[in-house]
């Protein structure tokens, strides 16, 4: 009996030892995943490759200093639409405080808003309000951190709990957690934020913006680096990245392919691993894909660098709400990589060259249209908000993601792509050969002048003229229809103001893409209508139109002159949109070192 009890006791003891030995690790994992569930409920950013980044915060560190929960807002519940009904979409910036310095980046943002067509100095007309308090850097360890923001904004009589306010932010939280905490209650304000975490993002209300440096240009911006002769699209390096965080994983877990192209160009920071150093700009020029890992926050400066360089971004930042994703289709310009890190090289190598080229072209379009300057980032933010206010007149994603872009396709003109000349190729159509003659009349008398009548008769006899629109910019009302000459094409009279800019307004009366803009004293015969030249001796409107067309189409214009006008327009645009071109007007072999007998016009060279 004693022997039997002894064997039972030994068997029970052995079972406990086996359970403790083999099950302890499972119990530890269960506790870890339970902790991860708490983590997920608190909306903390998570690292998909935490085992490779042992120098960063452990899961236990993420359980301290929670971020304030934002109110569940929509435009219908947290935005007062009635403020926008009378005066339209107007934006007011709070007056500057003398004792409160602004960062260079926030000064650029405010300057962009105050130069926009939506700015108003009158708060009674405003639909949207922008704080003069610098809220870009909310890291309390930063020298640009503004304290007591809550007290300041509550003292503003226009604050109203944040309604109809737009707050910009680039950096939130501090080391080691880098949470979403801004350090003040934004209330019902719209948050335009970089490094936006998807679980904190309020869809249709907040806006994700890109992370940009203080050196980002105010206007204009540098052009992209993709050239028209970039064929084939695959370059010397397949994949590049800058930094040391992922270097160990790549060198330890991946092997380079046996082909003619390089595989990974790394730009390491000081690091114990021996690896050759490269010039980062040279790598960007010569790489097909650029890894864009998350920084200490979700966003990274590498993102805009890759877009400009036509280096297709490979995004390794789970949970990041991509910039302007409400309008931009990032699936056409970037690779979002949910795979494990060593699988990325083999995955991107399988992308077809035609799709690679399409990716590269889209990166250049997005960079130039929305990200190359602070002006474009701010204007894109404002236009997205404006589209929300008038959804029936908002831009479609097609307009946002196709040349020339949403900022140049105004919805108050049309929301149908077929009404814009930029999209004929996509719709398989071609522009009409007809044009509208647009004549600006400034006669001081109450009747049309004789030059105006002769001009209407000459233009109307052209087979390419579809209609004639007369902009009557005179103090006296236009004469009745009986005073105008008979014409085979319809003649429409529009009452205008005494402003030169009225001739560039997209009047609903105009039904053609081509518009021949004329003054009433223009001397023109019917035979000359097929070819007209711009003559801008005293005014700049002709050069303005050339600059505007070049900025939209990226094509060289006709020859223009007027250095004062060009300098002023370049200052307005922030860069020179005109594309240089070469034109030779001399006869064949003129001034060439050949016999005069071989030249077609030998007498031209005689003194």
For 187-200, the DSSP string reads TT-EEEESS-BTTT
> Is residue 477 exposed (0-12), middle (13-18) or buried (19+ Cβ within 10 Å)?
exposed
Dihedral (Cα; 547, 550, 555, 558), 10-degree rounding: -30
Beta bridge partner(s), residue 168 = 192
Give the residue from 438, 443, 414 showing the smallest Cα distance to 492. 438
Whether 114 maps to a domain, the answer reads yes
Q: How many CB atoms lie within 10 A of CB 507?
A: 16
Give the active site residue among 542, 564, 571, 592.
542
Question: Largest alpha-carbon pair distance within the chain?
Answer: 137
Is residue 279 domain-shared with residue 354, that is, in the same domain? yes
Q: What is the CATH number of the domain that holds 302?
A: 3.40.50
What pairing do the DSSP bridges indicate for beta strands 287-293 and 237-242? Answer: parallel
- pLDDT of residue 282 exceeding 50, the answer is yes
Measured between alpha carbons, how far is 566 from 123 in angstroms, rounded to an integer? 35
Rg (CA), the chain: 32
Measured between alpha carbons, how far is residue 227 from residues 230, 291, 357, 361, 438 in Å? Answer: 5, 22, 11, 10, 38
Instruction: Examine the residue annotation and report whether 542 is marked as an active-site residue of this protein.
Output: yes
Q: Phi and psi dihedrals of 70, rounded to 5?
A: -80, 145
Tell me which range, 152-166, 244-258, 439-453, is most confidently predicted by mean pLDDT.
152-166
Other C-beta atoms lying within 10 Å of the C-beta of residue 234: 18
Residue 242 in contact with residue 302, Cβ under 8 Å? yes
CB 386 within 8 A of CB 406: no
- The answer on 306 and 181 residing in a single domain is no
Number of domains in the chain: 5
Q: Sheet harboring 491-495: ordered strands across?
A: 491-495, 465-472, 435-441, 514-519
In a domain, 3, yes or no: no
Range of the domain at 332: 237-372
Q: Which residue has the higher pLDDT, 356 or 478?
A: 356
- The DSSP code for 223 is P
Q: How far apart are CA 541 and CA 544, in angstroms?
A: 5
Domain membership of residue 544 (yes or no) is yes
Kind and range of the H or E element at 356?
helix 353-366
For the stretch 378-388, pLDDT in tens is 999 999 999 99
Q: Are residues 279 and 200 in the same domain?
A: no
Residue 217 lies in a domain: no
445 and 549, same domain (yes or no): yes
> Cα–Cα distance between 147 and 140 in angstroms, integer?
8
Residue 225 lies in a domain: no
Q: How confident is the model at residue 325 (pLDDT cuts 50, 70, 90)?
A: very high
Is residue 489 located within the same domain as residue 422? no
| Whether residue 443 sits in one domain with residue 546 | yes
**Packing angle between helix 104-115 and helix 374-389, nearest 10 degrees?**
50
Distance CA 169, CA 171 (A): 6
CB neighbours of residue 582 within 10 Å: 5
The secondary structure of 539-599 as a DSSP string is -SHHHHHHHHHHHHH-S--S----HHHHHHHHHHHSS--PPP-----SPTTTT-SS-GGG-
What does the CA dihedral 191, 194, 198, 201 come to, rounded to 10 degrees?
0
Same domain, 338 and 354: yes
413 and 441 fall within a common domain: no
368 and 284 fall within a common domain:
yes
Report pLDDT for 582. 67
Question: What whole-number distance in Å separates Cα of residue 263 and Cα of residue 287?
Answer: 9
CA neighbor of 118 nearest in space, from 340, 337, 407: 407
For all residues of the chain together, what is the average pLDDT?
A: 78
Is residue 595 in some structural domain?
no
Are both 345 and 273 inside the same structural domain?
Answer: yes
Contacts for 558-563 with beta carbons within 8 Å, 24 or more apart? 558/533, 558/534, 559/583, 560/534, 560/536, 561/536, 562/536
Q: Is residue 244 part of a domain?
A: yes
Q: Which of 254, 92, 101, 109 is nearest to 169 (CA)?
A: 109
Give the model confidence (pLDDT) of 402-416 as tens digits: 988 999 888 877 777
pLDDT, tens digit, for every residue of 525-559? Answer: 777 666 544 443 346 666 777 777 787 777 776 65
Q: For position 514, what pLDDT does the model report?
A: 85
Same domain, 257 and 333: yes
Asked if 95 and 400 touch (Cβ cutoff 8 Å), the reply is no
Separation CA 602–CA 588 (nearest Å)? 10
604 in a domain, yes or no?
A: no
Element (H, E) at 471: strand 465-472
- Does residue 404 have a cis peptide bond before it, meaning omega lies within 30 degrees of 0? yes
**Last residue of some domain: 18, 34, 64?**
64
367 and 407 inside one domain: no
Alpha carbons 314 and 202: distance in angstroms, whole number: 25
CB 263 within 8 A of CB 234: no
For residue range 166-218, list pLDDT tens digits in order: 999 999 876 666 677 898 999 999 999 999 988 899 999 999 999 999 999 99
pLDDT of 243 over the 70 cut: no
Contact 207, 386 (CB under 8 A): no
Which pLDDT tens digit goes with each residue over 24-62? Answer: 544 444 443 344 333 344 344 443 444 434 344 444 433
- pLDDT tens sequence across 88-135: 999 999 998 887 889 999 999 999 999 999 999 999 999 999 999 999
């Amino acid at each position: 009996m004693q022997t039997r009890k002894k064997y039972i006791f030994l068997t029970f003891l052995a079972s406990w030892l086996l359970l403790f030995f083999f099950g302890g690790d499972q119990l530890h994992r269960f506790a870890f995943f339970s902790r991860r569930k708490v983590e997920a409920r608190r909306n903390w950013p998570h690292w998909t490759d935490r085992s490779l980044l042992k120098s960063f915060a452990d899961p236990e560190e993420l359980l301290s200093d929670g971020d304030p929960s934002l109110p569940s807002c929509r435009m219908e519940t947290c935005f007062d639409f009635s403020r926008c009904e009378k005066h339209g979409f107007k934006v007011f910036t709070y007056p500057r405080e003398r004792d409160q310095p602004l960062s260079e980046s926030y000064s650029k943002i405010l300057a962009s808003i105050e130069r926009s067509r939506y700015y108003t100095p009158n708060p009674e007309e405003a639909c949207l309000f922008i704080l003069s308090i610098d809220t870009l850097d909310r890291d309390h360890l930063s020298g640009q951190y503004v304290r007591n923001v809550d007290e300041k904004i509550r003292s503003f009589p226009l604050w109203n709990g944040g309604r109809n306010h737009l707050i910009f932010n680039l950096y939130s939280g501090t080391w080691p957690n880098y949470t979403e905490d801004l350090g003040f209650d934004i209330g019902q304000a719209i948050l335009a934020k970089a490094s936006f975490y998807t679980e904190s993002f309020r869809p249709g209300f907040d806006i994700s913006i890109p992370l940009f440096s203080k050196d980002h240009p105010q206007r204009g911006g540098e052009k992209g680096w993709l050239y028209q002769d970039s064929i084939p699209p695959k370059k010397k390096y397949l994949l590049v990245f800058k930094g040391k965080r992922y270097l160990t994983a790549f060198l330890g877990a991946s092997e380079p392919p046996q082909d003619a192209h390089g595989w990974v160009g790394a730009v390491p920071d000081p690091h114990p691993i021996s690896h050759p150093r490269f010039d980062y700009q040279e790598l960007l020029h010569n790489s097909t894909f650029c890894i864009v890992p998350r920084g200490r926050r979700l966003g990274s400066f590498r993102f805009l660098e890759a877009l400009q360089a036509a280096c297709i971004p490979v995004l390794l930042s789970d949970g990041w709400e991509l910039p302007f994703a409400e309008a931009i289709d990032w699936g056409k310009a970037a690779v979002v990589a949910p795979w494990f890190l060593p699988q990325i090289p083999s995955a991107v190598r399988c992308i077809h060259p035609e799709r690679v080229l399409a990716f590269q072209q889209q990166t250049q379009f997005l960079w130039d249209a929305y990200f190359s300057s602070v002006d474009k980032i701010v204007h894109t933010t404002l236009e997205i908000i404006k589209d929300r206010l008038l959804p029936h007149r908002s831009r479609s994603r097609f307009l946002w993601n196709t040349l020339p872009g949403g900022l140049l396709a105004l919805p108050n003109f049309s929301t149908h792509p077929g009404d814009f000349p930029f999209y004929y190729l996509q719709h398989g159509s071609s522009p009409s050969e007809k044009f509208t003659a647009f004549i600006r009349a400034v006669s001081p008398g109450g009747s049309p002048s004789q030059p105006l009548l002769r001009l209407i008769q000459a233009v109307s006899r052209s087979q390419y003229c579809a209609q004639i629109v007369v902009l009557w910019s005179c103090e006296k009302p236009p004469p009745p229809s009986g005073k105008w000459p008979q014409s085979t094409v319809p003649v429409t009279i529009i009452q205008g103001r005494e402003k030169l800019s009225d001739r560039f307004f997209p009047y609903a009366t105009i039904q053609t893409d081509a518009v021949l803009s004329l003054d009433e004293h223009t001397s023109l015969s019917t035979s000359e209508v097929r070819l007209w030249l711009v003559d801008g001796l005293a005014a700049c409107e002709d050069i303005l139109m050339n600059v505007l067309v070049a900025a939209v189409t990226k094509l060289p214009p006709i020859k223009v002159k007027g250095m004062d006008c060009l300098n002023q327009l370049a200052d307005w645009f922030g860069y020179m949109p005109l594309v240089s071109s070469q034109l030779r007007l001399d006869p064949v072999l003129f001034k060439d070192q050949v016999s005069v007998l071989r030249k077609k016009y030998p007498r031209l060279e005689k003194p």
